[in-house]
Each structure stands twice: as C-alpha cells, then as structure tokens.
Amino acid sequence: MSKRQRTQVGIIGAGPAGLLLARLLQVQGIESVVLEARTRDYVEARIRAGVLEQGTVALLEEAGVTERLRREGLVHDGAEIAVGGRRVRIDFRALTGKTVTVYGQTEITRDLIAARLAGDGAIIWQAADVAIHDIETARPRLTYKHAGTAHELVCDFIAGCDGFHGVSRSALPDSSRQTFERVYPFGWLGILADVAPCSDELIYAHHDRGFALASMRSPTRSRYYVQCGLDEKLEEWPDERIWRELEIRLDCDPPPNITTGPSIEKSIAPLRSFVSTPMQHGRLFLAGDAAHIVPPTGAKGLNLAASDVHYLSRALLAHYKKQDDGLLGAYGETALARVWKAERFSWWMTTLLHKLHDKTSFEAQMQRAELDYLASSRAAQTVLAENYVGLPF
C-alpha cells in the first residue's frame, strides 16, 4: 500500500530549474513538492558554470535569494576575445546597457535550497524509481519510493526539471517527440583552482592549438578550460601540463597574469547541442536540460533554464490567480522560440572559437575572417553582446 499525498505542482529535479520554479511558486502561495534522486550533499557539491544574465538575476531577486549574490557576485561589463596575439574587448554595457554577473551555479543551488527549506517547502531527497502517470488527465500523478516505502503524489501539474538523463522527457508520447542534436568532436578540460583570476573579465581564446577560456568564481578562485580530444583522459593532464597549455593558448597582448596552483577539481566534458520538442504534453511541462542542452561556450545553459522557468511560472500563476490557461497552452512554443535563439548563439560561439579544421583549409580561413570582422565592427560586437547578456524574455 503506497502513501498518498496531494500538491498543486509536482516538480521532478532539485537542480536550479526545479528549485527556482518551486521558490517562485512558493512566494506566490502555490504549493509544490520537489522530488530529487540524489542526496542534498551531492546536489550542493556539483560544480557548474556561473555567468548570469540580468534576466536571471532579476528572477532570483523575485525569488528572494539574492542577498549573498549581491554581496559576492562579480558584475562584469564586458568580456574579451583573444585571437592572433591580441585581445579584443566586447563592452557589454556600452553596446547594450546591460551586464552579466559571475556567481557559481553551486552557490545558486545552495541559496535556493536554503530558502526552500526555510519556507517549509518539501524536497524529497533520494526519491527512487520516479514515474509519471496520467498526464492527459486533470490529475496527473507521480509515483516514487523513499526510504523503502512506495509513495504517490497527485498533482494539478507536473514540471519535469530532471535534466538530460531524467525520466520526464521520455514520458512524452513517442509519436509527438522529435529531437535535434549536434555532437561536437571535442571536449572541454576544466580545472578549478584557488588562485586569483588572470583578468578582471572572462577571456575567450582562439588558438591554433585549440580553444581556451579563462574564467573565475570569485576574486580568489579561478576556472579555466582548454579544448581537448574526446578520447583524452584526466590522468594524461597533470596540473603542470594544463597550466603550460593555458599559458600558450592565452599568450596575447596585453598578457594575462596567470597564477598557477594545485587544482581542487578537474573534469572533461563533451559538448553537444540538443533540443527535444514539444516541451509540453497534457499537464506535463519540461524545463531546462530535460528539454535542451547547449555547449557552454555562450554561457547559456543555466540562463536558458531560468528563461523556461520564467515562462512556466507566469503560466502557472495565471492559471491559479486569474483562471487563465492561455499562457499554459502557449508555454512550449513560447519557450522554444527563445531556446532556438540561444542554441544558435551557443553553436555560433562554439564554431567561431574552437579548432575545427586544418589551418590551411577554406573553413579555417572563414573562421579567421569572422574573428577579424568581429574585432573591427561595432555592429558585429553588438550582436555578440546582446546575445551574451541575454535576449529579452
């Protein structure tokens, strides 16, 4: 006999998308229960990116979780592109009037969890065997096991925020589901170290040896990436080799002040572009990585999840506060219109900056011409800037 519970919105996944949605609903008096397969310690320790669009910061402000972000976040007015031995600065504030904020996804997750629990919202950690039922009815259900006991959660709506490998996307009918994917023939080797950043702003580097990125998490913690082969192993990349490679790929004028030190985390991640449609069926709505993946080059992953949550939270608020289901019915198409624009930008940044072709090929010459044009054209820089800081919701 399973234990039965009732809520308004059942949310699968305690990543940023699920937690932000839960919090936005919570402050409006709408009940939800969050189911998470992992432990709290695991979720709070995951290392992820942290470049936030202004729209994402505004949503976090609305959720009431920006006290620490405002104190510790780093506001950036621009970013730099290093190519051909020189650095080209893209001035976001001058070109768009907007900025971005560097604040780690790990910290956002911790802030959202703390706010959720302080407000007596339910997060069910280590929810096993989660399954979705009856999404075409007015009472969809979630079943799961927790601490050896079977549970049933009856909802008005279900939000699938459980990532690329979660159960939500597969709950949509096969007959209506369509996927679009591009897998890139390289990965990113990332290193996290407690050393001062080499620059006040991010540096994206295009080099004959491959792409590199100099980023940061705080004034004392740096995050670097180098393009690597998919078949390479972490043990082939001791810290000394990574620092040396970064010095080569980031060799430009003015030279960045790279401080080396022992890594506290290293990983190799493949890059892909992925979109699954539709993003809704019946009373099931997908948000974040459950519906789409972007390569990290354009800093869109977390921000795209936030834009999904913006649209979905507004739609649920209209349903409960105004008895208006127009936004719910349009959610998938509305969210996808922004998803595809972010996919385009992330794909463009990835193909612009990475080593993809032999340097004597036609394609490589086109890549260099595009970079030269970007360096000399305010219009081209404006296009990059307005996409990087985030298109309007």
> Which entry of 207, 300, 319, 354 is annotated as an active-site residue?
300
What is the pairing mode between strands 149-154 and 284-286? unpaired
* Catalytic residue status for 225: no
Q: Where are the alpha helices (DSSP H) in the chain?
A: 16-26, 40-45, 54-62, 67-72, 92-96, 105-118, 239-249, 301-322, 326-353, 362-376, 378-388
Spell 287-325 as b/e; 16+ CB within 10 A means b.
bbbbbbbbbbbbbbbbbbbbbbbbbbbbbbbebbeeeee
> Which entry of 76, 206, 207, 310 is annotated as an active-site residue?
76
* Catalytic residue status for 98: no
Which H/E stretch holds residue 90? strand 86-91
* Catalytic residue status for 76: yes
Q: Are 247 and 230 in contact (CB under 8 A)?
A: no
* Catalytic residue status for 204: yes
Spell 246-263 as b/e; 16+ CB within 10 A means b.
beebbebeeebebeeeeb
> Which entry of 140, 256, 295, 296 is annotated as an active-site residue?
296
* Rounded distance between C-alpha atoms, residue 393 and residue 381, angstroms: 21
Q: Are 211 and 226 in contact (CB under 8 A)?
A: yes
3-state DSSP assignment of residue 58: helix
* Catalytic residue status for 42: no
What's the alpha-carbon Rg for the chain, to the nearest Å? 22
**Tokens coding 167:** 């159960």
> Which entry of 204, 224, 320, 331 is annotated as an active-site residue?
204
* Rounded distance between C-alpha atoms, residue 36 and residue 196, angstroms: 35
Residues known to be catalytic: 76, 204, 296, 300, 388
